[in-house]
Chains A and B, each alone.
Chain A
């Protein structure tokens, strides 16, 4: 398997523009997680899905952020409108089997977002 695939790897945009980050989880995984990483706040969980259904979005900073998972092999994280303080590295991760007790999350390489 190719692992978790994120695109784009880098995104530079201007304040006010819409940004869409994409993620393809590992085939067969039923959990998908979106994280944000900054120097100040470290690794923060934004939202996660189980079987394509959002389970916990309490980490989403505000209404400008939205995430969707239309099918088992694709998810998006959208920021509209973007602001300079959204600049960070955004990671997608996937895992298999809540009841397998393994719960190992596999991370993508991340999208580095810069909002000017």
Chain B
């Protein structure tokens, strides 16, 4: 079945450092979404990408939709303690069945 390979699986960084995570697939996607899950809560949308090559920012977050439509990355600049959580990428296949394919998640811990 379709898979998204998300890396790294976990990160432990110092406050103020920049963070980068990415998702890759062998399938072509027409939408990429990045979600964040805080402890004890459901995933919340951070950034949505709809066009190949698109680069979108949301505050300290920047995400890009890969040119090949098979990958995406998320960068967080100047990390702060509240960035702690699990970050998920999700993609919608070109077949557009209505469902999303989710990555395995990247767990981020920030040391003050």
Contacts and interface: CB of A to CB of B under 8 A. Distances in A.
Interface stretch (A13-21, A72-80, A106-114): A106-114
Size class of the contact patch on chain A = 20 to 34
A66 B100 CA distance: 21
B61 to A, nearest CB: 16
Given A91-B42, A109-B42, A110-B41, A103 B102 contact: no
B69 to A, nearest CB: 14
Nearest to B6: A42
A7 to B, nearest CB: 13
A56 B99 contact: yes
A33 B99 CA distance: 8
Nearest to B104: A42
A104 interface: yes
A64 interface: no
B66 interface: no
Given A42-B105, A43-B88, A104-B33, A56 B97 contact: yes
Given A43-B88, A103-B92, A98 B45 contact: no
A55 interface: yes
Given A107-B43, A110-B42, A42 B98 contact: no
Contacts of B41: 109-110
Given A101-B30, A104-B33, A109-B41, A45 B105 contact: no
A85 interface: no
Name, among A31, A95, A104, the residue most crowded by chain B CB atoms within 10 Å (CB to CB): A104
B44 interface: yes
Given A98-B97, A101-B30, A108-B42, 6 more contacts: A56-B99, A95-B98, A98-B96, A106-B45, A109-B42, A110-B40
28 contacts: A42-B102, A43-B43, A43-B88, A43-B105, A50-B98, A55-B97, A55-B98, A56-B99, A91-B42, A93-B42, A95-B98, A98-B96, A98-B97, A98-B98, A101-B30, A101-B50, A102-B50, A103-B31, A103-B92, A103-B100, A105-B45, A105-B90, A105-B100, A106-B45, A109-B40, A109-B41, A110-B40, A110-B42
